[in-house]
Amino acid sequence: MITPLVVANWKMSIEAPEIREFVASWRATADAAVDCVIAPPLAYLGLLSQVPGIQLAGQDCSSEASGAFTGECSAASLLALGCQFGIVGHSERRQRHGETDDIIATKAQQLEAVGLTPIICLGESSQEREAGETFAVIERQVRAAVRGLHRAPVFAYEPIWAIGTGLPAEPSDAGTVQQAIANELKSIFGKKGDGRVLYGGSVKPENTAEFMSEQGIDGLLVGGASLTAESFMDICRNAGG
Ligand code: 13P
């Protein structure tokens, strides 16, 4: 049985006072049947370093190992700050920063090289969905992203039209796409690596159980509904069944 993975992506939506409030209210359940991960803004990773039951992720990393790259953050520095995971390929970075499949693959390789598990985001736009291209887009993104990796990463299927809109995918549709991703991972890596496939896009406590009951959905990547301890604890509890 795979342990569900629930990841909070706080983006740039939270500052130190709210993080302190989150930490003060957070209660890790001793029997937590779920791996809980938080990806805070980089500068605030230290505020979460001693929180019981929480693992850490970076929201992004450089495609370079080190050198003259002002403003960038190496995979090694994420490791040094206590991260176990690193998110790459979020659609906000693909769109706003022009990140290509190749750049994302290189970032994932940097994470793997230092021993972090990449969480690689992918998903189709609404136009691609309407054109019936969802599976072709996903397949292209998966194949490109795993190039050069030795172990299966975590993938997060986040249809772009479902992010921050309050309009999540139908759980059964997401499950079908995710099953395809899982099959692809299995055929490439066998049992090597993590291989969990998450769903992201307008997840909230009320729809968590429905997503998690779908075959192919091994966990969740949560934006807005992860910003308070109460809401994120509810999601983690509901994801644990
Ligand atoms: P929302 O949960 O706010 O839709 O954001 C999803 C997301 O982008 C997580 O990476």
Domain total for the chain? 1
Atom 1, ligand 1: residue with shortest CA distance = 223
Residue 177 Cα to ligand 1 middle (Å)? 18
Whichever domain contains 108, its CATH number is 3.20.20.70
Please work out whether the CB of residue 224 comes within 6 Å of at least one atom of ligand 1: yes
On the CB side of 233, CA atoms within 13 Å amount to 14
How far does the centroid of ligand 1 lie from the alpha carbon of residue 235, in Å? 13
In which domain, by residue range, is 207 found?
5-239
Residues 174/198, Cβ–Cβ less than 8 Å: no
Predicted confidence at residue 191, as pLDDT, reads: 92
Count of Cβ atoms closer than 10 Å to residue 136 Cβ: 12
238 lines ligand 1 (CB under 6 A): no
Query: Which of 6, 12, 203, 204 has most ligand 1 atoms within 8 Å of its beta carbon, as the pocket-test mutant?
Result: 203
Q: Does the annotation count 158 as an active-site position?
A: yes
Q: What is the pLDDT along the chain (241 residues), one digit of tens a residue?
A: 799 999 999 999 999 999 999 999 998 764 568 999 999 999 999 999 989 999 999 999 999 999 999 999 999 999 999 999 999 999 999 999 999 999 999 999 999 999 999 999 999 999 999 999 999 999 999 999 999 999 999 999 999 999 999 999 999 999 999 999 999 999 999 999 999 999 999 999 999 999 999 999 999 999 999 999 999 999 999 999 8
